[in-house]
Structure 1
Amino acid sequence: MTTAAAVDLTARGLAVFPIPPGGRKPAGPWRSRCLTNPERVRELWRDGDNIGIGCRASGVIGLDLDLDDEADGLAVLAHLAARLGKPWPETLTAATPSGGRHMYFLAPDGCTIGSSSGGRTALGPGIDVRGPGRHTGGYLIGPGSVVGGNTYTVAHDVPVAPLPGWISARLPSLPDRSTR
């Protein structure tokens, strides 16, 4: 089942890599194992592996909207959008087993937005950011993955949209260390 989900994600332009069944963390280095070709996924994927989506290899920024006892990232983003008079972003979105969401956005050219979590993002509590970064980038667990017997699913089945300006304005790029 996860092979079909991984193939679907690559057909949507996302770069996927395997994560051991039931897990959230890759076994060993994953960045060099990102696959973007659906045929290669069909050839190499072991059904049952969970799916990682590499943000740098995919050219995306992922928002991980947590829903737990500490924060409600969905409500925080909805409040921010309403306060700014902006609509809820229409983009590919996955539902997580906890009731949260993973939203995928196309990163602007040359984007160096890094990954941050634990209430350290400028978007507010409960919103983690997984970005392409400068060199390595972060990752998100993809739809089709199963953790603790619960499945990540596609919640909003639309193409991956460009990152809205009102969100990117709140996500600082990494400092340019190449000139130092």
Structure 2
Amino acid sequence: MATTARHAATLALAHALSAAERGLPVFPLSPTKLPALRSPHRGQPGHVSCRGECGLPGHGVYDATTDPVAVRALFDAAPWATGYGIACGRPPYHLIGIDLDISGHEPAAGTTPDSVAALQQLAFEHLFTLPETVTVLTPSGGRHIWLRGPANVVVPNSAGRLAPGIDVRGGGGYLVGPGSVATRGAYRLAPGTADLSAPAPCPRALLRLLTPSAHAGHCGHPPHGQSARQGEGLVQFVLASHEGQRNTRLFWAACRAYEHGFGEALADTLVEAALHTGLTEREARATIASARRLTLER
């Protein structure tokens, strides 16, 4: 067991150094995918707001570096590390990670996982195509899609905001690097992407979805044609719900409709779609009302 752990730690360092050489800031991770080094401020009274200014390691993603000497020092301080994190939002790539999660059950043969289908639906609705880029396969069956962001845009981290099962890693976040070994298994590059030297640029339409809109939550209405096109996609998203995800999909669709200013106009249609999936009218209207409150509060 000890030999296996040492082997995993040695491989993690080797992969981290390789990533750092390509310009990706890295730091050590434990098998739980959390930063391997504990905070030097633990036990101190009150909240300590330090992002490494103290000069000590143990600040998670803020320890990330491309300096090979510093990388080795971090791993020497955490010999139990079996993986490494890659800081997002940092030059030169300003990495954006699209994390497609796979729910607890494996998709049926010949079907597309919900998160992948949701991303395809977003691409269809907003007229963008995902470029060929670095993709990392996770032990749970999910995947991390790497994209390059512009230097002047900060992409926030989010969980499920784009769609259920889609998380976003941006500034202040990190991705588990390929070659890392976690409790559930290893992270590895997807076939066909190992030879790609850098992440592909993020499509502009997708970038607009990833960044907070100055108009989110406003009460104005988009042009009728635009409203109809987006509304149709949201309705189809609800209609495609399976048992166990009906409320989640309805809530997400309602939030997007209210954010874009046509929530009230689409509410009855969303209720009708929810009825087709098996929800009662009372359940559907309560879910939409919750989405409206949350959006207006934002």
Range of TM-score over shorter length: 0.7 to 0.9
Contact 1:61 1:107 in 2 (8 A): yes
Partner of 1:138: 173
**Dislocated runs of 4+, deviation >4 Å:** 82-85
Contact 1:114 1:174 in 2 (8 A): no
Partner of 1:18: 28
Structure 2 distance, partners of 1:5, 1:80, is 33
Post-superposition shift, 1:80?
2.7
1:4 corresponds to 2:14: yes
Taking the TM superposition and a 5 Å limit, the aligned residue runs for 1:1-180 are 1-20=11-30, 22-26=31-35, 27-28=38-39, 29-42=59-72, 44-46=74-76, 49=81, 50-58=83-91, 59-69=94-104, 72-84=114-126, 86-117=128-159, 119=160, 121-122=161-162, 124-132=163-171, 137-155=172-190, 156-157=193-194, 158=196, 159-173=198-212
Identity %: 38
Distance 1:174-1:15 versus aligned 2 partners, 3 A rule:
farther
Structure 2 distance, partners of 1:6, 1:143, is 9
Structure 2 distance, partners of 1:30, 1:42, is 15
Give the paired residue count: 167
Distance 1:43-1:172 versus aligned 2 partners, 3 A rule:
closer
Runs of 5+ in structure 2 lacking a partner? 1-10, 40-58, 106-112, 215-298
Runs of 5+ in structure 1 lacking a partner? 176-180
Range moving further from structure 2, 158-167 or 27-36: 27-36
**3-state SS of paired residue (1:170):** helix
- TM-score, normalised relative to structure 1: 0.80
- Relative contact order: is structure 1 or structure 2 higher (C-alpha 8 Å, sep ≥ 6)? 1
Computed over aligned residues only, the root mean square deviation of the Cα atoms, in angstroms, reads: 2.4
Post-superposition shift, 1:84?
4.7
Structure 1 distance, partners of 2:116, 2:201, is 19
Structure with the bigger percentage of helix: 2
Range moving further from structure 2, 70-79 or 86-95: 70-79
Contact 2:86 2:174 in 1 (8 A): yes
Letter in 1 for 2:115: G
Distance 1:151-1:48 versus aligned 2 partners, 3 A rule:
farther
Post-superposition shift, 1:11?
2.4
Describe the superposition over 1:18-50 as per-residue Cα deviations: whole angstroms up to 9, x where unpaired. Answer: 112x12111332133111134543454346622
- TM-score, normalised relative to structure 2: 0.50
Range moving further from structure 2, 75-84 or 142-151: 75-84
Which has the greater radius of gyration? 2
**3-state SS of paired residue (1:10):** helix
Contact 1:73 1:126 in 2 (8 A): yes
**3-state SS of paired residue (1:6):** helix
Partner of 2:275: none
Contact 2:61 2:174 in 1 (8 A): no
